[in-house]
């Protein structure tokens, strides 16, 4: 599921659809807290394989370590259609996410690009997050395959041990008319640093909260 050994660099030339992620710059920042009202301790529990910093979600979860990177693979199911989920969560995210989760993300502003691959966005966080803002770059966007990837390369959401976070999403239709959202999160640490397990849990918990809020939004509309 999106396993790759390609290095990431956001300052490299733009790639086309389905291109690998780009390696980001280093930014020394502070750690983000768990999101309010999301009890991630109920969602995750430590794995016996501590050497690869594995956490297990209530849904299907795997962890793979690639060189210095730590990769988490998570799957969550939904009763809404794949097309509805992909549209609301990714194509319309700049409007939908601040509307349904203002306590998490207050606003999303496009700094460069037109929303497709290569677009750089500036996210301002809401009161539920101690971090203030983040910059992310869209590196994969394929509506036909329903894939979407972006790299977080700047902002105080990154901890002092983390150089970048890359999120790879795929929305897959299921036979019952619903969908499965597959997420691969790649944590690239600063050289010789270890990404804290709690930081990994909090990051995935935030993505889970966005998924649940988006699902509720679609069902209500």
Question: What digits encode the pLDDT tens for the residues 128-159?
Answer: 998 999 999 999 999 999 999 999 999 999 98
130: its two tokens: 């101690």
| φ, ψ dihedrals at 109, nearest 5° | -120, 135
- The better pLDDT of the pair 72, 28 is held by 72
Residue 218 has pLDDT above 70, yes or no: yes
User: Checking DSSP bridges between strand 120-125 and strand 105-112, what pairing results, if any?
Assistant: antiparallel
7: its two tokens: 């290095």
Q: What residue ranges do the domains of the chain occupy? A: 40-220
Residues 27 and 36: their CA atoms lie apart, in Å, by: 25
- The better pLDDT of the pair 17, 92 is held by 92
Confidence of residue 191 (pLDDT cuts 50, 70, 90): confident
Polymer length of the chain? 221
Residue 6 has pLDDT above 90, yes or no: no
Which residue, chain included where needed, has tokens 């890359």? 166
Calculate mean pLDDT across residues 11-28: 39
- Specify the CATH class of 40-220 in words: alpha beta
Question: What digits encode the pLDDT tens for the residues 68-97?
Answer: 799 999 999 999 999 999 999 999 999 999
- The DSSP element (H or E) to which 213 belongs, if any, is helix 197-220
Residues 130 and 108: their CA atoms lie apart, in Å, by: 17
């Amino acid at each position: 599921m999106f396993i790759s050994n390609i290095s990431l660099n956001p300052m490299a030339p733009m790639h086309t659809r389905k291109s690998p992620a780009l390696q980001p710059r280093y930014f020394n920042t502070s750690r983000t807290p768990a999101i309010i009202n999301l009890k991630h301790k109920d969602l995750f529990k430590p794995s016996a394989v501590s050497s690869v910093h594995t956490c297990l979600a209530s849904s299907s979860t795997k962890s793979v370590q690639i060189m210095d990177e730590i990769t988490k693979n998570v799957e969550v199911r939904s009763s809404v259609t794949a097309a509805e989920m992909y549209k609301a969560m990714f194509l319309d995210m700049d409007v939908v996410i601040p509307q349904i989760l203002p306590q998490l993300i207050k606003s999303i502003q496009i700094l460069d690009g037109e929303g497709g691959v290569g677009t750089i966005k500036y996210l301002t966080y809401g009161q539920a997050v101690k971090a203030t803002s983040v910059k992310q770059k869209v590196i994969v966007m394929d509506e036909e395959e329903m894939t979407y990837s972006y790299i977080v390369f700047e902002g105080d959401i990154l901890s002092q041990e983390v150089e970048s976070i890359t999120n790879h999403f795929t929305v897959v239709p299921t036979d019952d008319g619903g969908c499965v959202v597959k997420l691969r999160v790649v944590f690239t640490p600063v050289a010789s640093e270890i990404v804290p397990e709690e930081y990994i849990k909090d990051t995935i918990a935030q993505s889970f909260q966005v998924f649940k809020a988006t699902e509720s939004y679609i069902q209500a509309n």
